[in-house]
Amino acid sequence: MGAGSAVSRAPVTGRWSTAQLTGAGLALIAACYGLARFAYGLFVPAFSDEFGLTAATAGAIASGSYAAY
C-alpha cells in the first residue's frame, strides 16, 4: 500500500461495551477500597503511636472512610 491510501478495518468483535467496562472498573475500585478499609484497622495502633491519635480521632477517621465507601 502506498502513502495516502486508506485502510478500512472491520469492527472488532468481543469488545466490551462502555457500561461493562464502567461496571468492571467500579467493582475493582470497590473491592480495593473495601480491602483498604479492613487494613486500616491493622494499622491503627501504629498510626496512633506515630501521629498521637486518640481513640476518638481514629474512630472518626474510620467512620469517615465508612461513610465515603
pLDDT tens sequence across 44-56? 999 999 999 999 9
CB 44 within 8 A of CB 65: no
Residue 13: is its pLDDT beyond 70? no
Predicted local distance difference test score (pLDDT) of residue 60: 94
Do the beta carbons of residue 24 and residue 16 sit within 8 Å?
yes
Kindly report the CA angle at 24 between 23 and 25, in degrees rounded to 5?
Answer: 90
Domain boundaries defined on the chain:
39-69
Q: Which three cell numbers stand for residue 27?
A: 467493582
